[in-house]
Amino acid sequence: MKALQFFVSVPRFVALKSLGAINERVYYDGPLATVKLVDVPEPKLPSPDWVKIKTFLCGFCGSDLNLILLKESPTSTPFTSFPCILGHELCGEIVEIGKDVKGLSTGDIVTIAPHLGCVTRGISPECRSCKMGRPGNCENFAQGSFSPGMFTGICHDINGGFAPYLVAHTSQVFKLPQGVSHESGAIIEPFAVALQAVLDNKPDKNDKVLIVGGGVIGSLIVQSIRALGIDCNITVSEPSSFHAEFAAKVGADNVITGGDIFTHTQRITGARSYQPMMGKEILMGGFTKIFDTVANSETLNNGMRVMATGGVLSIVGISSGVKLDPTALWLKLQTVKGVFCYGYNTVDGKRRHAFEIAIELVEKKKVKLDEMVTHEFPLERYKDMIEVNVHKGKNRTIKAMVSFD
């Protein structure tokens, strides 16, 4: 079968970093490209508690783009293995089932939570993170039955959804109800990321929320807050007017597309500005909850300076080489917390996986994920798919997908 494979080595990394400064296209087009179409065998069930899935749609994630353009931090490389077949946001149909699988049948339309934690790796007893109900933050991503890999799509042994078929452990698989489209099914994974971020830093109606970045995850954080019935004030900071308009459409009260974040924060929250002897101003008062989907030095430092005393800043995105001035963190008793993946949550007295909650919200039409799909491509046009994501604003791209239908 044809599949989209990623590979990089240290010499290729060095060469591409030099050439990429001149023309970014060399990362995905040319002899040194990090991705290419390859022929690989159809996957076989690793053990009797796995299923085989025929891919319908697979979404192109911002993390896929960062990986291809070599923008990810090398710190995560011990927990990946190359070459690998990309793709972790998917919807498909079960076409083969292991003899130990219960509750699933061939013909079921499903999506997967792609994390490769202790259970999928055959590790017992489970690590602390998996016991806590957060298998997406497993401590054994480089141990067990398979090559290193935090999730399906960046593990050499378990191919992702940019291929006609893949396999998944029964614990990863979630059935989609009738009436949930394939497009919505393929967006359940990023929706669960946003939903988990909100559940981990849940606003109440009196909070003033700032979301930095109005792309896929940013707009899904807006939708998550509104779908959970939280009527707080939400501001989205996003330079692209197209993406800012979509954020407003799905529930943001204010959008900031340019100008000074400090001035806007004073206007929206009533915060007061103080000017140090040197450097940027610092506000007293400000936003009480911040979700930063960009998380570079500028956004994180500005976020702490415009966040109120006792506020919580969730780092949802990630960038490398961040330099922080912790003065605001210290002075205003703030909390900065990491947000990666999803897991089990106690909601209304019940323990439920973020995917279950997300699917229910889609089924009840609390969110409209279909509207986020702006582009679909056959696998052979993967370069065009990358191109529209490199220039999202120009192409009015929210979510692009590979379609096998």
Q: What is the model's pLDDT at position 309?
A: 98
Q: What is the model's pLDDT at position 259?
A: 78
Q: Is the pTM of this model over 0.95?
A: yes
pLDDT digits over 1-14, tens only? 999 999 999 999 99
CA dihedral 32, 36, 39, 42 (to 10 degrees): 130
Q: What is the model's pLDDT at position 72?
A: 85
pLDDT digits over 169-187, tens only? 999 999 999 999 999 999 9
Name which of 200, 207, 192, 197 is nearest 292 in CA terms: 197
Taking a C-beta distance cutoff of 8 angstroms, is the pair 65, 45 a contact? no
383 phi, psi to nearest 5 deg? -65, -40
Task: Tell me the angle at which helices 216-227 and 182-200 cross, rounded to the nearest 10 degrees.
Answer: 70
pLDDT digits over 245-303, tens only? 999 999 999 999 987 999 999 999 999 999 999 999 999 999 999 999 999 999 999 99
Taking a C-beta distance cutoff of 8 angstroms, is the pair 293, 217 a contact? yes
Q: Which amino acid is at 217?
A: I
Q: What is the model's pLDDT at position 348?
A: 86
Q: Rounded distance, CA 197 to CA 176, Å?
A: 22
Name which of 123, 112, 160, 161 is nearest 145 in CA terms: 123
Q: Rounded distance, CA 105 to CA 223, Å?
A: 32
Q: What is the model's pLDDT at position 247?
A: 97
Residues of the chain short of pLDDT 70, as ranges, are none
Sorted by where each starts, the structural domains of the chain and their CATH numbers stand as: 2-189+351-403 (3.90.180.10), 202-338 (3.40.50.720)
Name which of 35, 193, 44, 36 is nearest 113 in CA terms: 193
Taking a C-beta distance cutoff of 8 angstroms, is the pair 263, 237 a contact? no
Q: Rounded distance, CA 152 to CA 229, Å?
A: 32
Taking a C-beta distance cutoff of 8 angstroms, is the pair 81, 147 a contact? yes
Q: What is the model's pLDDT at position 215?
A: 96
Taking a C-beta distance cutoff of 8 angstroms, is the pair 193, 338 a contact? no
Taking a C-beta distance cutoff of 8 angstroms, is the pair 20, 46 a contact? no
pLDDT digits over 345-371, tens only? 998 899 999 999 999 999 999 998 999
Q: Which two tokens stand for residue 248?
A: 């407003």
* Tokens 């109005």 found at: 214
